[in-house]
Structure 1
Amino acid sequence: MSVSWFSAASRPVWTDCMRNSSQPDTTTRMGKFFVPPTARTPADRVREALDRAERQVTNLRGAGPRALELLHLFDQIAQRLMELEAAGVDVRAERVRFETLQRQLSHRRDSFLAEVGVALREERAIVQPDRTRWWWFLDEAAARRRWRRLRRGLIGGMIAAILLAGAWLAYERFIAPPPRMRRAFRHSSAGETLVEEGDLQAALAEFEAAAALTPDDPALWLWQGVIRSELGEPEEAERAFDFARSLYETEFDFLLERGMAYLRVGDLTAANADAEQAIAQNPQSGWGYYLRANVAVEREDYDAAIADLERAADLARAAGDAELEAYTRTQRAMVIQLRLQSTVSP
């Protein structure tokens, strides 16, 4: 058991009362901050716990680790509401109050975590709550939110750089492109936007429209294959992949592009499989390792991502690929920052 945050002299009276209580044991494991019920009936005990919780959730400032009592009150309320509902008691009003309390705690999460600090992890180790009692895992939720925010910033910067590079290449290759090509580009851009928004069915229609205008663009067929694969249409997906393959110069290029597309739709298993195949086909190229590193980042396996990025940088330097070497060096610094963030607890 972790060391208590309070000395024996300052520990609340209710902690010692529990040692001598004649109340029957409950199904909720109790930590050192548990507050025993004092009301006479089950419904009264729920209302009393709700009263206490409502006072505490609006007065977190200065509470310190004692704010953890709120989590025990939540446990007590949740358990007793469930028991009363099973017994046929009308507790709709109490249920609404509890749901309101949960929203209030969620909104005040940062203030709560600032008060309890590391005591939350220690108390959680004692209580060992089920994951359904989400209020015991507020620190983990906050950490995930920070990682997602940082990842979005990093990925947004990378996408901006790629878009700028793509715009330059498009200008060099398609100076004053014909109207048909411009329409295809608008469709493909709309398709990629819809992929980011998660609307795969609408994205598929855009890529099909673009491919009808510029059928020699392999990326448009590749996207159709990836989306159909995600929509559960394996035969149509394979037909699209076969056509895309015929337009790429090498199988290696096809695997890299498809792996990046799978990564963008969030299919990490498929993206990693393409990365592994690309590495097996051309182990002297750093691009396969670069793709696998991106998959590892999305899986939050930062050590594996850094190792692959270092390998990709070494191979890029040996091959004289300055572009890939620059990408890997920049992304390695970003991943190191992500790993550092993942080790910092609130």
Structure 2
Amino acid sequence: MVKRPVEPGVETPADALRRTLREAEEGATLLLRGRGELLPLLRCLDAVAEGLQALEAEGIDLRPERTRWESLCTQLQRGAERLVRHAREGPDALRQAREELRPPEERWWWRLDLLAAEQRRRRMARTGRAVGIALLILALLGGAAYLFLRPDPLTAQKLRLYAAAERAIQEGRWEEALAHYQEAAALDPQDPEPWLRLGWAQERTGDQEAAQASFREAASRFGDPFAYELALARLYVEAGDFGQALPHALRATELNPQSPHAFYVLASAYEGSGKFLEALQALQTCEKLAEAQGDVELVAMSRVRVGTLLQRMALPTP
């Protein structure tokens, strides 16, 4: 082990590394709690990586610091979605900085937005598996509707814009996604759906004022508080924002306690939030209401969801 002579009061390179590592740990903690900035943290990580490499090459024993560094990297990788979502700079700042700096592949933290997008896709896939058969039924019904009732050109164009926006979001190009939703809203000024999607995207980019304005535009076009709350809850569920979906789904069931669809969406919000018992109760209410109203498809979907949910809860199926 190499030891350097140290003058009193002088910060050694190892001390500087420990200080920078501590700053990175504190910065990551703040950002995960929604109170930090991402780009300064990434530059701090660069400094730690460079310091570790240089000092270890000199034979300096940095095993405790290496352990802390590996733990921090694991924390950042697991929390990529939250880090990117909470960054004050906005979701496009990281992509722009990466294009300017062109960091090497081993500096994976400069690609946190791409990692976050992949985590989101995996999370949605896990949620999709839990309701896979139900979604298959919906897809089949939708496919049949498309065959017999093909969408008009306006609807088809809006669907293409939604798909393009989703692709842009998955790749971290939020400004492009916003433009697609704005174009969809301009195509059909009376349709509330693009305003809902635009509001959600603005909310995710931190523009709360614009988001609330878009949500108000959507609500005015629905003209029905129940329809608005249900549609917004569905959108949040679709995006995997289950915590955001819950209050709107609950509000929808309060506004129309006879709607099986409201309880179906509520069950999805509960299940995605890990509240399995509440999800089960909502599905049972959905099935009861759907059966009373003669909605055979929704009854079948609810029963499938109940079965898969009971399996997740490791309870015997009744």
TM-score normalised by structure 2 residue count: 0.55
147-156 or 264-273, larger mean C-alpha shift: 147-156
Distance 2:313 2:172 in 1: 27
Distance 2:199 2:123 in 1: 31
2:67 corresponds to 1:91: no
Distance 1:300 1:275 in 2: 16
2:127 corresponds to 1:151: yes
**Residues 1:187 and 1:315: Cα distance change in structure 2 (over 3 Å):** same
2:175 corresponds to 1:205: no
Deviation at 1:305, TM superposition (A): 0.9
Q: 1:217 aligns with which of 179, 183, 191?
A: 191
Structure 1 letter corresponding to 2:255:
Q
Structure 2 letter corresponding to 1:203:
A
Contact 2:243 2:273 in 1 (8 A): no
Partner residue in 2 for 1:67: none
2:248 corresponds to 1:274: yes
Q: 2:142 aligns with which of 151, 166, 176?
A: 166
**Residues 1:197 and 1:330: Cα distance change in structure 2 (over 3 Å):** farther
163-172 or 330-339, larger mean C-alpha shift: 163-172
Contact 2:128 2:135 in 1 (8 A): no
Matching of residues 164-313 of structure 1 within 5 Å: 164-174=140-150, 177-178=152-153, 180-195=154-169, 200-248=174-222, 250-313=224-287
User: 2:274 aligns to what SS in structure 1?
Assistant: coil
Contact 2:192 2:221 in 1 (8 A): yes
2:287 corresponds to 1:317: no
286-295 or 305-314, larger mean C-alpha shift: 286-295
Distance 2:124 2:192 in 1: 32
Partner residue in 2 for 1:326: 300
Deviation at 1:293, TM superposition (A): 1.1
Deviation at 1:264, TM superposition (A): 2.6
Q: Deviations over 1:180-211 (max 9, x none)?
A: 54333211122244456665443322222222
Distance 1:326 1:289 in 2: 14
Distance 2:306 2:212 in 1: 34
Partner residue in 1 for 2:100: none
Distance 1:332 1:221 in 2: 33
Q: Which has the larger radius of gyration?
A: 1
Distance 2:258 2:231 in 1: 18
User: 2:181 aligns to what SS in structure 1?
Assistant: helix
Distance 1:278 1:213 in 2: 28
Matching of residues 85-164 of structure 1 within 5 Å: 90-92=60-62, 151-155=127-131, 157-164=133-140
Partner residue in 1 for 2:102: none
User: 2:250 aligns to what SS in structure 1?
Assistant: helix
5+ residue gaps, structure 2, are 1-54, 74-121
**Residues 1:241 and 1:99: Cα distance change in structure 2 (over 3 Å):** closer
Contact 1:259 1:274 in 2 (8 A): yes
Q: Deviations over 1:257-311 (max 9, x none)?
A: 1101112333333211101111110112222222221111112221111111111
Distance 1:321 1:95 in 2: 61
User: 2:206 aligns to what SS in structure 1?
Assistant: coil
User: 1:283 aligns to what SS in structure 2?
Assistant: coil
Aligned length: 210
Contact 1:198 1:265 in 2 (8 A): no
Structure 2 letter corresponding to 1:260:
R
Distance 1:148 1:339 in 2: 19
Distance 2:137 2:168 in 1: 20
**Residues 1:295 and 1:200: Cα distance change in structure 2 (over 3 Å):** farther
Deviation at 1:93, TM superposition (A): 7.4
Structure 2 letter corresponding to 1:190:
A
Deviation at 1:256, TM superposition (A): 1.0
5+ residue gaps, structure 1, are 1-84, 104-145, 342-346
Structure 2 letter corresponding to 1:154:
A
